[in-house]
Structure 1
Amino acid sequence: MTKAHHNATDRQLRLLVGLVVFVASVAVVGSIYAVTTDRVQTPPLWMILALTLAAMASHRTNITIRLGANKYGQGWKDILFLVGLTLLPPPWMVLCTAVGIVIGWLGGRVGPMKTAFGVGKDTIAVAVGGLVAYATGAAYAGDDPQFHPVGQLLVLVAITVVDELLVNPVVALATHTPLAKQVRRHLDIRLGFMAARILVALLLVWLLSIDRGAQLLLVAPLLIFTVHLWYLWRVRKRDERLSWQGLATSAEALNDVDLRRVMEVAVEWAPKLFSADGAEVEVFHTDPPQLVRGAGGNVDPDGEGEWPSDAFVITTVLEGRADKRPIGEFRLRFRGPVTLNEMENYKLRTFASALNTAIRNASAYAELQRVAIVHAHEAAHDALTGLANRRQLLDQGQKVITEAHADGVIALLLLDLNHFKEVNDTLGHAAGDEVLKQVADRLKAAARESDLVSRLGGDEFAVLLTGLPAPAVATHRAERLISALQEPIEVEGMWITVEASGGIATPPGTGGIAELLRRADVAMYQAKRSGQRIATYSHARDTADIGRFAITGGLTSAVADGTLTVDFQPIVDLASGEVLAAEALARWHHPDHGTVDPLRFLETVERSGLLPAFAEAVLDQALLACVSWREAGFDLPVAVNVAPRSLLDPRFPGSVVTRLRTHDLPPDRLILELTETLTISQLEVVDRVLGRLRDEGVRLALDDFGTGYSSLSVLSRIPVHELKIDSEFVSAMETSPEAGAVIRSTVDLGRSLNLAVVAEGVDSEPQRRALWEMGCNAGQGHLFARPMTAARLLASLHRGSGGRPGTLAPALHDEGAVIRLSPHRRAVPRQRSERLPHLGG
């Protein structure tokens, strides 16, 4: 609740109490006038003193019960007032009540406002009761007052109604509770208790009117006490039930993944659950720490409001799950000292435990989101320059080509730095990296905001130009970008002039961004060969494009006659050097063109209708090799890469199962490696295909983990058995803390999900040892073996390492040896590892 709202409520409360006191003062003045002018008969002095003393002690007849900071109970003053009005004339009863109540409240050590309200309320109630008594024909002449029973009942009802009308608005304002809610609170129980008090009051009046009835009045206290206990018991039971229901509802409401929302829900519910004046939650482990306060159903999300310095606060420490260190505090604020009973303490511990769990869960979710964002950024950006990488260029470029035709002409500029190798050889790789970073900054500054500047690797950059009014403008824009590199660059006190060659291409009719990139690459090499700074793609000079038709025809024959071959690269246990599995890699030796780059002929396969036949050919050769190793005593699974388009074919699982049965191999001897793509992460047909494969017993691996569209979201949908760390992270982990962090998080994720983790591109012993120390158990790369035929791999398994069959590397340590993890690792030269072509893509 805001401070202004709180002050406004206090003003309304003081105004209402002042009005009650004023009306009571009018009643007292009128009563004094009636008494002093002898308008009413003067009763015996002992009776006046007795009723004054009874009124003085009446405010202590409440036997109350506290739930949290609220007190519930109903007094029996209305019975005293009825008896008094039966014995004394109303003006005398008003004066006895006012004097007695004033003395009683002053002796109770309560605040002046509460005292004023209590005296005024009771005085008004008696005055109204007296008016009803006169109106119903009550007579006070002589020693025997005349009072009709119906009049007595109406007097008691009037007193009770006045009490309810005055108490409820004041309590509602004091506790910041809506008036309707305050009136409805325990209304049925209050009405029942009111009826019981009326019966008791009428019984007492009847006893006073009969002979020897005064002796029977001895049972009245016991009767009153019994009814009172019944009322308090009913109130306690209902409040406890509602309190536990509220606790369960609040625990469910705390189940949120947003930490801020969890804190706001806690401070919104806590004051109601514990009848507190306010609550706050402070979390320490965020940067910066967060504080949320709440009071009266209102939330202060920034914790800017201040609590009174004399507030009574109950603090509960929130602890972490593992180390038990405090991660925050939950506090309840009361206006005065409060002692919680055993049940309330248990309820507080339960709520704090639910809040603690919700905070930890929300914090864990936030950390997962942060890691996912970091991974997504790293997967789409170059670690050295911060520019977009090849993956982002391909993704965004394809999207622009498909959707942005109406926004103008699109062109791609591919840049390659001339003689950059000399910089690395002369000044070292650190100087070369500095040159690359400054080149990236200049290209970024010279490009338009809508252009995408990316680094493809090494000294190769690309700029996707969008929104061009005409294709000819691309050359002008490219000239300006290359001109931005002409100014010398200072590196380690030396000035270096950077020269670059560029190729420009516009989107082809077919082939998408991959063909656009290839054409820009062709144009760039044309510029280098001709000595120009910039060349535009010319189809007539594209010999690679002409030769592709011959490759397509030859590939059709290769798939049909079985001349397509498969090599295998072993997957090795990093600790022992034992071979665990082998990955199948498609190879093709064209009779005229020689060895064809896998990425090139696989692209042709995907564009043609050869994908199903190609996939079956590779799978057959991989399973035949698996059978030959199995018969030789080496029961190794074989891993085969799957093209994303194969996952869109509902017939693909049936084809896989048929070939496993043909070769009489258990399904778990086959591992299908999946690449993270937009197709995998979004289409439901992929879920059905992969679900059937897993149900059949085929193992699934997620390749290049950490570089896809959304690693965590893909992993949550696809039922994989294995994660493969991309070779880019392995090659960069010695020089890039971020790459090492990605590997560690992937290993930890695999361990927590009971998944195998394999590192790709392990090319040196330091990389092997570093991966093993991080907890990665398996790897593949040139350190252990380059891709080889199935027969050569079998021979290597027989030969083994150090006379140990089935191994390709010596063990890192003897069995039982203790390995000390070194805090400083030697830098490892970066080596280019082979990218594994996919089965059919």
Structure 2
Amino acid sequence: MLSRDVSAGNLIFSQGDGADCAYLIEQGEVDIFVERDGRRQPLTVLGAGEVFGEMGVIDGLPRSATARAHTDCSLVVVSAEQIQQVVARSDPFFAELMRKLVGRLRDTQSSLIAGRETVGQHSSDFGPGYAEVVRERDIAEAIISGEIEPYLQPIVDLGGRTVLGYETLARWKSETMGLMRPFDFLPLARRTGLIRRIDLTMADRAMAICARLGNRADAPFVSINVSAWLIQDRSLTATLARMMDQHGVAPGRICLEVTETMLIEDLDAAEEAMDDLRDLGIRLALDDFGTGLSSLSVLHRLPFDVIKVDGSLVQGCQTSARQRAVLRGILDLCGRLDMEVVAEGIEDVGTARALGDLGFTMGQGQHFAPPAQAEQAMAAWREEVP
């Protein structure tokens, strides 16, 4: 979402204009009025947290009133496309109900204009969706400004402790809110569709990092997280191919990590898209294996090359025979399916040794290194390379 600053006295839109967006008032006040028989009739004064201009977007009719900045205003612009996408995703009953309510509001407004000069009073009540709309705008601006950036965490050889690759993890370094982790902003990004822009932005920046790691035979690969929605997109292969060509990166250096497989609505589409990616030479990993977000049922349908075992199954394995039995079973299953296995969430040397004894060869976790900015992570790798 975009922001628009309007100085006091300036028009925001005029009665009769086409409606291509709605506005949420972040700061300031807005006068809403109509022109009738050559006279201006005030309707209301709106304050921070209130939305206006949405009726024409929903019903497709021209603006029914004029909006002018009463004071200097900061507005969040909500495009017609964004509103229509929300309406399209809603239950048809509620979508139709919304349109009927807008029609009644127009009728009520016309009646009130005919019978009185003012309707309503100034209100500064913040609507229930205010914070979410503002945060969505902030996320969109953070993507554009580069505040959302990839941090790197190494994936290591449990035998030699050498770095085999890096997983890229999105972090938001906000000027106002500090460093924000994925759970602070990705859930909203998924609900609003911004996750696609984040995924593709992170992929492009990960390709640039991969190119900077060099083309040596032992140069680390880069693993990129993609959402369940994006992995079903048949255009993803062409998009990634263009990125790799632009950055001069070989497909074999790239691995895509897919989580939330339960959210994949069309397994056929996902299978076709993943087959295209594998044909290109990109490897595919199933992330968070062993949690409710990934299922055994997808293993026989989707062509994964790598399984990443969730840390919840890894931590404490050195003291639990039952847990070690589960991990041996996973190794056996993946061996039969010709899949590589990475153990996630390794936080201490005891766990790392226990996993090595079980037969795990690759691992990742705080014990080796926490996620770090790309420059810091790559500098550490270069120091280790002879």
TM-score higher than 0.5: yes
Of 247, 272, 275 in structure 2, the residue corresponding to residue 663 of structure 1 is 247
Q: Map 1:571-582 to 2 at 5 A.
A: 571-582=155-166
CA-atom RMSD, angstroms?
A: 2.9
**Taking structure 1 as reference, are residues 694 and 577 closer, same or farther at Cα in structure 2, changes over 3 Å only?**
same
**Residue 688 of structure 1 aligns to which amino acid in structure 2?**
E
Of 164, 167, 174 in structure 2, the residue corresponding to residue 583 of structure 1 is 167
Residues of 2 paired with 1:792 and 1:710: CA distance?
32
Partner of 1:636: 220
- 1:742-770 per-residue CA deviation (whole Å, 9 max, x = no partner) reads 21111122222222110000111110000
Of 603, 612, 623 in structure 1, the residue corresponding to residue 207 of structure 2 is 623
Residues of 1 paired with 2:296 and 2:252: CA distance?
25
How far 1:719 moved relative to its partner? 1.1
**Taking structure 1 as reference, are residues 684 and 665 closer, same or farther at Cα in structure 2, changes over 3 Å only?**
same
**Taking structure 1 as reference, are residues 649 and 706 closer, same or farther at Cα in structure 2, changes over 3 Å only?**
same
How far 1:730 moved relative to its partner? 0.9
**Residue 244 of structure 2 aligns to which amino acid in structure 1?**
L
Aligned pair 1:690/2:266, yes or no?
no
**Taking structure 1 as reference, are residues 696 and 730 closer, same or farther at Cα in structure 2, changes over 3 Å only?**
same
Q: Map 1:301-700 to 2 at 5 A.
A: 546-630=130-214, 635-680=219-264, 683-700=267-284
Which structure has the greater CA radius of gyration? 1
Partner of 1:732: 316
* Contact 1:648 1:689 (C-alpha < 8 Å) held by counterparts: yes
**Taking structure 1 as reference, are residues 626 and 544 closer, same or farther at Cα in structure 2, changes over 3 Å only?**
farther
Partner of 2:11: none
Q: Which has the higher contact order (CA 8 A, sep 6+)?
A: 2
**Taking structure 1 as reference, are residues 656 and 579 closer, same or farther at Cα in structure 2, changes over 3 Å only?**
same
How far 1:725 moved relative to its partner? 0.6
* Contact 2:170 2:181 (C-alpha < 8 Å) held by counterparts: no
Of 702, 718, 723 in structure 1, the residue corresponding to residue 307 of structure 2 is 723
**Taking structure 1 as reference, are residues 591 and 693 closer, same or farther at Cα in structure 2, changes over 3 Å only?**
same
- 1:144-194 per-residue CA deviation (whole Å, 9 max, x = no partner) reads xxxxxxxxxxxxxxxxxxxxxxxxxxxxxxxxxxxxxxxxxxxxxxxxxxx
Of 358, 370, 383 in structure 2, the residue corresponding to residue 786 of structure 1 is 370
* Contact 1:625 1:790 (C-alpha < 8 Å) held by counterparts: yes
Partner of 1:701: 285
**Aligned partner of residue 585 in structure 1, secondary structure:** strand
* Contact 1:574 1:777 (C-alpha < 8 Å) held by counterparts: yes
- 1:99-150 per-residue CA deviation (whole Å, 9 max, x = no partner) reads xxxxxxxxxxxxxxxxxxxxxxxxxxxxxxxxxxxxxxxxxxxxxxxxxxxx
**Taking structure 1 as reference, are residues 601 and 686 closer, same or farther at Cα in structure 2, changes over 3 Å only?**
same
- 1:80-115 per-residue CA deviation (whole Å, 9 max, x = no partner) reads xxxxxxxxxxxxxxxxxxxxxxxxxxxxxxxxxxxx
Q: Map 1:198-213 to 2 at 5 A.
A: none
**Aligned partner of residue 150 in structure 2, secondary structure:** strand
**Residue 577 of structure 1 aligns to which amino acid in structure 2?**
R
Residues of 2 paired with 1:709 and 1:558: CA distance?
27
Q: Give the unaligned 5+ runs of structure 2.
A: 1-86, 91-123
- 1:504-535 per-residue CA deviation (whole Å, 9 max, x = no partner) reads xxxxx9x99xxxxxxxxxxxxxxxxxxxxxxx
Residues of 2 paired with 1:542 and 1:775: CA distance?
56
Residues of 2 paired with 1:680 and 1:740: CA distance?
30
**Residue 643 of structure 1 aligns to which amino acid in structure 2?**
S
**Taking structure 1 as reference, are residues 675 and 710 closer, same or farther at Cα in structure 2, changes over 3 Å only?**
closer
Q: Map 1:128-139 to 2 at 5 A.
A: none
**Residue 747 of structure 1 aligns to which amino acid in structure 2?**
L
Q: Map 1:71-90 to 2 at 5 A.
A: none
**Aligned partner of residue 582 in structure 1, secondary structure:** strand
TM-score (normalizing by structure 2):
0.63
More helix as a share of residues: 1
**Taking structure 1 as reference, are residues 668 and 554 closer, same or farther at Cα in structure 2, changes over 3 Å only?**
same
Residues of 2 paired with 1:634 and 1:543: CA distance?
55
* Contact 1:554 1:590 (C-alpha < 8 Å) held by counterparts: no
* Contact 1:676 1:711 (C-alpha < 8 Å) held by counterparts: no
Q: Give the unaligned 5+ runs of structure 1.
A: 1-508, 513-539, 807-841
Q: Map 1:762-773 to 2 at 5 A.
A: 762-773=346-357
* Contact 1:583 1:640 (C-alpha < 8 Å) held by counterparts: yes
Partner of 1:795: 379
**Taking structure 1 as reference, are residues 704 and 664 closer, same or farther at Cα in structure 2, changes over 3 Å only?**
same
Residues of 1 paired with 2:245 and 2:305: CA distance?
22
**Aligned partner of residue 588 in structure 1, secondary structure:** strand
**Residue 717 of structure 1 aligns to which amino acid in structure 2?**
R
**Aligned partner of residue 640 in structure 1, secondary structure:** strand
* Contact 2:167 2:224 (C-alpha < 8 Å) held by counterparts: yes
**Residue 701 of structure 1 aligns to which amino acid in structure 2?**
A
* Contact 1:566 1:789 (C-alpha < 8 Å) held by counterparts: yes
**Aligned partner of residue 164 in structure 2, secondary structure:** strand
Residues of 2 paired with 1:771 and 1:597: CA distance?
28
**Aligned partner of residue 581 in structure 1, secondary structure:** strand
**Taking structure 1 as reference, are residues 735 and 606 closer, same or farther at Cα in structure 2, changes over 3 Å only?**
same
**Residue 659 of structure 1 aligns to which amino acid in structure 2?**
M
Residues of 1 paired with 2:229 and 2:151: CA distance?
23
Give me the identity figure in percent.
33
Partner of 1:741: 325
Residues of 2 paired with 1:674 and 1:739: CA distance?
24
TM-score (normalizing by structure 1):
0.30
**Aligned partner of residue 168 in structure 2, secondary structure:** strand
* Contact 2:316 2:351 (C-alpha < 8 Å) held by counterparts: no
Q: How many residues align?
A: 267
Residues of 1 paired with 2:258 and 2:125: CA distance?
37
**Residue 713 of structure 1 aligns to which amino acid in structure 2?**
S
How far 1:690 moved relative to its partner? 0.9
* Contact 2:344 2:364 (C-alpha < 8 Å) held by counterparts: yes
Partner of 2:61: none
Residues of 1 paired with 2:128 and 2:360: CA distance?
42
Partner of 2:68: none
**Aligned partner of residue 224 in structure 2, secondary structure:** strand
More strand as a share of residues: 2
Residues of 2 paired with 1:574 and 1:764: CA distance?
12
**Residue 251 of structure 2 aligns to which amino acid in structure 1?**
P
**Residue 197 of structure 2 aligns to which amino acid in structure 1?**
A
* Contact 1:680 1:714 (C-alpha < 8 Å) held by counterparts: no
Aligned pair 1:714/2:303, yes or no?
no
**Aligned partner of residue 300 in structure 2, secondary structure:** helix
Residues of 1 paired with 2:383 and 2:153: CA distance?
16
Of 727, 749, 752 in structure 1, the residue corresponding to residue 336 of structure 2 is 752
